[in-house]
Amino acid sequence: MRSARALVRAMSRIVPRDERAAWREEWLAELEAAAGEGGNERRPTPLVFSLGCVPDALGLAFRGAAPRGLATDVRHALRGLMRAPGFTASAVATLAVGLGTTAVLFSMINGIALRTPPGVGGAGDLVQLGRSVEEAPTWEAFSSRAFEEIQAGTTSLESVAGWSVHSFALGEPGQARYVTAHFVTGGYFRTLETPAVVGRLIEPSDDVDPGAHPVVVLSHALWTSEFGRDRGVVGRTVRLDGAPFEVLGVAPEGFVGLHTVGARPEIFVPSMMNPGYQGSTPFTSWRWQWLNAFGRLADGATVEAAADELSGIAFRLRSLSEDQEGVQIVVSGGIGLAPWDRDRVLRLTTMAGIVCALLYLLASTAVANLVLARSLGRGREIGVRMTLGVGRGRVARGLLVESLLISGAAALVAVPLAMALDNLLPALVPLPVVASMSVDGNVLAFIAAVALLTGVLMAWGPTRLAAEARSGGLASSLRGGLPRHSRLRDGLVVAQLALSMGLVAGAALLGRSMLNVWTADPGFDPRGVIATGIELPEEGGDDAPDDTSGAATYLAALLAEVEARPGVRAAAVATQLPIAGGQNFGGFAPADRPDDAVEGESLAVTGGYFETLGVPILRGRAFRRPTGEPERVAIVSTATAELFWPGEDPIGKELRGDPAWRVVGVVPDARLRSLRSDPIPTVYYPIPLSMEGRLHLLAGSQPGTTLPAGLVAEAVAAVGGPPSATGATDLFAAMVDSMAETKVIGYLVGAFAVLSLLLSVLGLYGLVSYIARRQSREFGVRLTLGASPAHLRGIVLRRSLRLAGAGLLGGLVVAAITGRILSSALYEVGATDPTTLVATAVVLAVSALLAVWVPARRAARVDPVVSLRDV
């Protein structure tokens, strides 16, 4: 009773002012009456009764706004839909699934590309800058020197800022964990107009001299997880790579700068704190291109003006350094997806988008088919209504209202569905997308627009039928005089079959790709190999970088310790992990022909590397165990050997270097970057002991054993080395993960394929049932005249299978197109792989046959007496 009253009061707000008081008084009195003297059981409960105030109030509020009789149409349609709950529920559910999935995809694009990243102000005036060269357009970062030139030279940009991704070990030695950091220039937060949540953010004065500003800004997430949102964190000291840094403040929740795709930054550190690499720092270098740049337009400046000005600065850069030869500065207006991420994300979203669109098309086709079937069955009702004087336009409007009600209800269901799916999205997307993808106004508007469009399109078929019914008049409509064959309906079923064949074929292709990934041979064997990051011990501080024998001893001891552990077959240390992490592009050339230099992969490893990864040494030998300063030797891949010394024995040849590197071994080519990339020329060097930074320790297990993730960390502790990461990467899992895109699209398409197959089989079933019912009288007559049931069955089957055949033929075309679209996610299977297409066609043919057989058999069994009576 209380909620009923509340409803009346709430609704009274929309009633026109002059009627409001009376309206409320009347309804409250009615409620009172409904609640009292309960005796009459035909009377509704007060709450149900009170619902009537909603249309009443709406009617008064929008009086005159709606065309005459619209309310009646809505009521009529609603009643009609309620009378067919099965039809209504399946139509709404099917459309809602289609709408929901499409909306999720839209919200992904919305989150990544359209919405302003959190914590960024005045986004409209931001521009992103990229370094390119004339010959090969690209989008790269800038060197510190170039960045300074841009900063000093521009007037169209009011400020310029740069950032770069780094990682730090956060915490006390022994308990540190790696966090993702952004090095940011002093103007970074100002340019983004980002406010601090606590304390203050990095300012220009915090980023002046190299190494002089040990300060850090925490991300909101890190502040929450590590400091329990303690506001007193400002001024505290945290350790980054062992050194003390003072906490300045906390960035806004969700702030990632402009970096919407990639690992979420957990801390922000002044760019001048970049420790550099092997003793050198980037601050005075032209070559060390590390700063991603963006700027804010000055008042009145346009993106075009900024681009013109910056191309002038680019010419200046060319004259300043040889390393800037041919350099261009490209400008991209607006924020959203960083230009270098666009390709990757675009490819994924295009594929997902097309798959979603296919599904949506299929869902709406299926529902259109249902609506059409229903209106065919309602021919008699429509005929009666027209005879009673309801105009043709009015009937059409009624049908439109009904189909809009269905799509509207589907939209209402789709919103919570999209919200639920959105929460799953981050887990599904193979890219670490950090943008928020929640449902917002844009997404709601998208759902509403698509639903409206669908509603209008769905009404088209029934409306046309109504027009045909009118021409036949009442008498014909009473005889069930709607057209016997509906081309439209046939067409819908064919389209449905074709679309679902496309999806099933796509799913099959992706499934085969995943199988191929599992059995792929990248040129090494990642099964049973785990890898953990380790550090070399510091040798008596920075003053004694030459004393490296300690490092060699340490590595040898550590490797011996690991190999002595149970289950370990072999172990090695390398600068990079195949596929799972890191790549180092380097140039190399034969010592006697420096002009023949090629770019390829170069990595440093210890002797056991090839054994650990099951790579055979084709010629020569592996590296020796680390004992002191490593030998000046190299091992080359087959591709390198054939490139430099075709037809010759590469052993003993030399690669350019000072002194030169002598080739001591040849190994087979391997796909070190990803399963998709072809092997590139590779050179392996022994690990240099003056190396700083992180190394990877690889441990291969004996067959049938699984190595514990903490194995390396324990071994490091046992030999007293600097603490390493505690986890381990499983190389095989990493290899499979590297194909996550294929996996995700595969799941998506697979789920849709099952759904679509179901939809189209149901559609076919419905159609054949309908044909059979339509012809049941004719069949009755034929049976009476002596036709056999088999003959009747044949009639139904022939017609249905013609449709199925047409659907399958069309499906081949759709499947070929789907394959082409998905081709970048496929692995070692052709986009129009004949085996897959044939198998798909067989699956669909069998499903279609089943869908057709049951109603056809039923039609043939018709009882002549019943069929003749039942008109």
Residue 776 within binding range of other proteins, rule CB under 8 A? no
User: Whole-angstrom Cα distance, residue 352 to residue 357?
Assistant: 8
- 64 vs 616, which CB is nearer to other proteins? 64
> Among residues 16, 38, 52, 688, which is the contact residue for other proteins, using CB under 8 A?
52
Binding track, positions 174-193, relative to other proteins; x by CB under 8 A:
--------------------
Cα dihedral angle (19, 25, 31, 37), rounded to 10 degrees?
A: -140
Q: Which of 516, 693, 675, 488 is nearest to 604 (CA)?
A: 693
Which residue bears the tokens 């995943």? Answer: 514
Of the residues 467, 560, 846, 871, which one makes contact with other proteins according to CB under 8 A = 871
User: 518-544 burial by CB neighbour count: b if 16+ within 10 A, else e?
Assistant: eebebbbebebbbbbbbbbeebeeeee
Question: Which tokens go with 175?
Answer: 């308990």
If we measure between CA atoms, which residue out of 241, 264, 733 comes closest to residue 531? 733
| Window 478 to 507, contacts with other proteins (CB under 8 A) | 478
Instruction: Name which of 40 and 319 has its Cβ closer to other proteins.
Output: 40
Supply the minimum distance, in Å, between the C-beta of residue 769 and other proteins: 23
Per CB under 8 A, 10 contacts other proteins: no
DSSP alpha helix (H) spans, 606-654: 609-612, 638-644
Q: Which of 516, 506, 831, 512 is nearest to 675 (CA)?
A: 516
Interaction of residue 61 with other proteins, rule CB under 8 A: no
Residue 3 in the binding site for other proteins (CB under 8 A):
no
Q: Is there a contact between 296 and 123 (Cβ–Cβ < 8 Å)?
A: no
Residue among 749, 844, 75, 696 at smallest CA distance from 355: 749
Find tokens 């004992």 and name the residue: 627
Q: How far is the CB of 411 from other proteins (least distance, A)?
A: 21
Question: 670 is written with which tokens?
Answer: 């391997």
Size of the site for other proteins (CB under 8 A): 37
- 161, 128 in Cβ contact below 8 A? no
Across-strand partners of 133? 327
Kindly tell me which of 25 and 343 has the beta carbon lying closer to other proteins: 25
Query: 564 near 712, Cβ under 8 Å?
Result: no
Query: Token pair of 535, please?
Result: 């550090």
Is 869 one of the binding residues for other proteins (CB under 8 A)?
yes
Please identify, using beta-carbon distances, which residue of 475 and 515 lies nearer to other proteins. Answer: 475
**45 forms part of the interface with other proteins (CB under 8 A):** no
Alpha-helical regions (H) of 300-378: 303-320, 339-377
Q: For other proteins, give the closer residue by CB, 402 or 561.
A: 402
Q: Does 53 bind other proteins (CB under 8 A)?
A: yes
Residue listed under structure tokens 């105030």: 53
Choose, by CB under 8 A, the member of 6, 22, 597, 842 that binds other proteins: 22
Q: Which stretch binds other proteins (CB under 8 A): 30-38, 336-344, 464-472, 794-802?
A: 30-38
* CA 763/CA 282 separation, integer angstroms: 65
How do beta strands 598-605 and 682-686 pair? parallel
34 contributes a contact to other proteins by CB under 8 A: yes
556 near other proteins, judged by CB under 8 A: no
Distance CA 839, CA 832 (A): 12
Closest by CA to 30, choosing from 63, 59, 62, 56, is: 56
User: Taking CB under 8 A as the rule, does residue 42 contact other proteins?
Assistant: yes
847 near 765, Cβ under 8 Å? no
Six token digits for residue 410: 């589907």
Strand runs (DSSP E) across 702-799, as ranges?
729-730
Task: Draw the binding track, 437-476, toward other proteins (x: CB under 8 A; -: no contact).
Answer: -------------------------------------x--
Whether the Cβ atoms of residue 433 and residue 111 lie closer than 8 Å to each other? yes
Contact between 167 and 179 under an 8 Å Cβ cutoff? The reply is yes
Whole-angstrom distance, CA of residue 132 vs CA of residue 144: 16
72 binds other proteins (CB under 8 A): yes
Among 5, 20, 60, 794, binds other proteins (CB under 8 A): 60
Near other proteins by CB under 8 A: residue from 61, 70, 71, 806? 71
In whole angstroms, the minimum distance from the beta carbon of 23 to other proteins comes to 9
Partners of 556 in the beta sheet? none
| Smaller CB separation from other proteins, 280 or 387 | 387
Q: Give least dist CB 483 to other proteins, A.
A: 21
Q: Which of 714, 723, 725 is nearest to 561 (CA)?
A: 714
Strand partners, 167: 180
Region near other proteins per CB under 8 A, out of 47-55, 339-347, 613-621, 822-830: 47-55
CA R_g for the chain: 36
Q: Does residue 597 interact with other proteins by CB under 8 A?
A: no
Q: Is 51 in the site for other proteins (CB under 8 A)?
A: yes
- From the list 17, 18, 40, 541, which residue makes contact with other proteins (rule: CB under 8 A)? 40
Per rule CB under 8 A, is residue 43 in the interface with other proteins?
A: yes
Tokens linked to 171 = 């915490």
Q: Which is nearer to other proteins, 470 or 673 (CB)?
A: 470
Instruction: Pick between residue 23 and residue 588 the one whose CB is nearest to other proteins.
Output: 23
Select from 45-53, 259-267, 409-417, 490-498 the region that touches other proteins (CB under 8 A): 45-53
Q: Which range touches other proteins (CB under 8 A), out of 43-51, 320-328, 587-595, 801-809?
A: 43-51
**Of the ranges 71-79, 326-334, 669-677, 795-803, which one interacts with other proteins (CB under 8 A)?**
71-79
The nearest distance, CB 13 to other proteins, in angstroms, is 17
Helix, strand, coil % in the chain, rounded to nearest 5: 55, 15, 30
CB contact at 8 A, 722 and 493: no
Judged by beta carbon, residue 30 or residue 323, the one nearer other proteins is 30
Question: From residue 705, how far is each of 295, 528, 564, 566, 613 by CA, in Å?
Answer: 54, 8, 15, 9, 16
What distance in Å separates the CA atoms of residue 459 and residue 403, rounded to the nearest whole number? 6
Q: Which stretch binds other proteins (CB under 8 A): 53-61, 85-93, 194-202, 750-758?
A: 53-61
Among 7, 12, 50, 724, binds other proteins (CB under 8 A): 50
Q: 529-535 and 694-701 as β-strands: parallel, antiparallel, unpaired?
A: antiparallel
Q: Mask 73-112, x = binds other proteins (CB under 8 A)?
A: --x-------------------------------------
Residue 644 corresponds to which amino acid?
F
C-beta of 599 vs 870, nearer to other proteins: 870
Which of 20, 28, 114, 726 touches other proteins (CB under 8 A)? 28
Identify which of residues 389 and 441 has a Cβ nearer to other proteins in the complex.
389
* Interface with other proteins, residue 25, by CB under 8 A: yes
Q: Which residue from 692, 691, 694, 688 is spatially nearest to 534, judged by alpha carbons? A: 694
CB closer to other proteins, 29 vs 424: 29
Does 49 bind other proteins (CB under 8 A)? Our answer is yes
Show the site string, 366-405: x = touches other proteins by CB under 8 A, - = not.
------------------x--xxxx---------------
Residues in contact with other proteins by CB under 8 A are 22, 25-26, 28-30, 32-34, 36, 40, 42-44, 48-56, 59-60, 71-72, 75, 384, 387-390, 474, 478, 869, 871
